[in-house]
Chains A and B, each alone.
Chain A
Amino acid sequence: MNAFGAAIAIARKDLRSELRSKEATNAAVSFALVILLILSFAFEPTGEEIHAMAGGLLWIVFAFSGTLILNRTFARELQNDALEALIAAPVPGWALFLGKAASSMVMMLVVELVSLPVFAIFYGVTLVWTLAPVILLGTWALVVVGVSFSALTVNVQLREVMLPLLIYPTLVPALIASMMLTGNLLDGQTFSGDNITWLRLLVGFDIIYTALAVTLIDIVLVG
């Protein structure tokens, strides 16, 4: 059995289910747009401070709306006890994790792609292509931590509350790096100087937490 094939099958299964039910993405897109709208009332779009705060605002929206998707990552398997079937299958834990992470990543990127143009219009910022790697790396950080804690809290009754309480403190380094990079790049800077340091921090965070997640996921799911 090909473990990568199994990971792809799990990701495709999740995406197909989500495409039909749309329960997580609809909620996340609506939530992201509502936050963007409400925050836009607080700031003057042409004001100077908006450029300094743009990175932070954007990643707050991504992190909050992303939690709605990450909460469902393993919780959707509770219906009909489908998680048992996945745990019983001859698939290494890391393949299950990668499948779940890949489907969550796609769903979160969809939410972000819808949010970005709205963010640009409401806050009067010009989007730049150099944001792409920051968004990919920052979103992977959200996904890798979120999917891990989603597995950890899947059997907790108050998991909708527990997940944000666990992931946001863990994500602080990645969120700071993503916010700083996004703000600087929207301000016209390039990947040089301090931005390289922030990028290294983000890449390092992703590597460390991905390695931890694929190593520990079996223990998290079975004990």
Chain B
Amino acid sequence: MVAVDRVWKYFGDFPALRDVSLTVPRGACLALLGRNGAGKTTLLRILAGFSKPAKGTVTIAGAAPRDLAARAKVGYLGHGIAVWDELSAEENLRVFATLYGVDRAAIPVWLERVGLLRVRDGLAREFSRGMRQRLAIARAFLHEPELLVLDEPFTSLDDRAIALLQNLLRDARERGASVVMSTHQLREALELASDVVLLKNGRVAHAGPRTEEMLNDPSWLYARYGEG
């Protein structure tokens, strides 16, 4: 589903990504781990099509990330919730339904799934933080993407939203979607992950399947690569 081949990315003279290669098969869930500044967000932004690598290639289902066909397959949840405060929950999803060519009948279904159907006409700016985050989750999943690119998705989510997101990610994987997520919440991520990549100073320090060892001690990988 995702192929990253010898990717380099510079910010000025500083190489944020150095010769990064990885693949994410269909239905896999890749936990992208690493300390702050390791290059996780830079790699995810390239996958989501927000920036281009200086060297190397990235393909999503065989297409470049900026191709419309690839973008239609990707759902992105970043640091910001990416919804419009002056629009209601339903109006927000209606805009995204139009942009992704999704049937509007899916909107109430997703509002129900994230527990916002009762407040569908409420403006996003009037929502609590948790409600806004759930609206953002509905926005990212609305078009049932084949690839979910999630940048620290569990950060500042409440318990209910974490459980909701974990359930949605499991459902997405069951229907064959792939997931690439960066996170510092190791336990939540490793419970979902099938594969793990550890980035250190922009390089892939470890790549492989998630093991029982990692589940038993989520910080095991960091300790092994001197990041503890």
A contacts, CB < 8 Å to B: 1-2, 5-6, 9-10, 13, 16-18, 20-21, 79-82, 84-92, 218, 222-223
| Residues of A contacting B68 in the complex (Cβ-Cβ under 8 angstroms) | 1, 90-92
Interface: B228 (CB within 8 A): no
B51 touches A84 (CB 8 A): no
| B123 contact set on A, CB distance < 8 A | 20
- Whether A21 contacts B51 by the Cβ 8 Å rule is no
Contacts of B84 in A (CB 8 A): 13, 17, 79-80, 82
Known: A80-B82, A88-B50, A222-B66. 20 other contacts (CB 8 A): A1-B99, A2-B101, A9-B94, A9-B95, A9-B98, A16-B86, A18-B86, A20-B86, A81-B79, A82-B83, A84-B80, A86-B99, A88-B74, A88-B76, A90-B68, A90-B69, A90-B99, A218-B66, A222-B49, A222-B51
List 21 A-B pairs, Cβ < 8 Å: A6-B98, A6-B99, A13-B84, A13-B87, A13-B95, A16-B91, A17-B85, A18-B86, A20-B86, A81-B82, A82-B83, A85-B76, A85-B83, A87-B49, A88-B71, A89-B99, A90-B68, A90-B71, A222-B49, A222-B50, A222-B52
- What is the interface of chain B mostly: helix, strand, loop, or mixed? loop
Residue from A81, A85, A92, A222 within 8 A of B96 (CB atoms)? A85
Q: Closest approach, in angstroms, between the C-beta of A46 and any C-beta of chain B?
A: 45
- Name B86's closest neighbour in chain A (CB-CB): A17
The reply to whether B85 and A79 form a contact with Cβ atoms under 8 Å apart is yes
Q: Which A residues lie within 8 Å of B139 (CB)?
A: 85
Residue from the list B49, B66, B71, B87 in contact with A16, Cβ < 8 A: B87
B34 at the interface (CB under 8 A from A): no
Q: Contact at B86–A81, with CB atoms within 8 Å?
A: no
A89 to chain B, nearest CB (A): 4
Kindly list chain B residues whose C-beta atoms are within 8 Å of the C-beta of A21.
86
Q: How far is the CA of A85 from the CA of B91 in the complex (A)?
A: 15
Measured CB to CB, the nearest residue on chain B to A87 is: B50
A residues near B76, Cβ cutoff 8 Å: 84-85, 88
Q: Are A90 and B80 in contact (CB under 8 A)?
A: no
> What is the bound-complex CA distance between A193 and B225, given in angstroms?
79
Beta-carbon nearest neighbor of B99 in chain A: A89
B100 within 8 Å of A (CB atoms): yes
Say yes or no: B86 contacts A91, CB within 8 Å.
Answer: no
Chain A, residue nearest B70 (CB): A90
Collect the chain B residues with CB atoms within 8 Å of residue A223's CB: 51-52
Determine the residue in chain B with the shortest Cβ distance to A12: B95
Q: How far is the CA of A6 from the CA of B68 in the complex (A)?
A: 13
The closest CB in chain A to the CB of B149 belongs to A88
CA distance A84 to B48 in the complex (A): 9
- Give CA–CA (A125, B83) in the complex, Å: 46
Shortest distance between the CB of A44 and any CB in chain B (Å): 44
Q: Is the CB of B72 within 8 A of A1?
A: yes
| Binary CB contact string for chain B from 6 to 19 against chain A (1 if under 8 A, 0 otherwise) | 00000000000000
**Residues of chain A with a CB closer than 8 A to B192's CB:** none
Decide: A80 near B85, CB < 8 A? Known: A1-B101, A88-B71. yes
Q: Contact between A80 and B98 (Cβ–Cβ < 8 Å)?
A: no
B81 contacts A by Cβ under 8 Å: yes
Which chain B positions have C-beta within 8 A of A2? Answer: 101
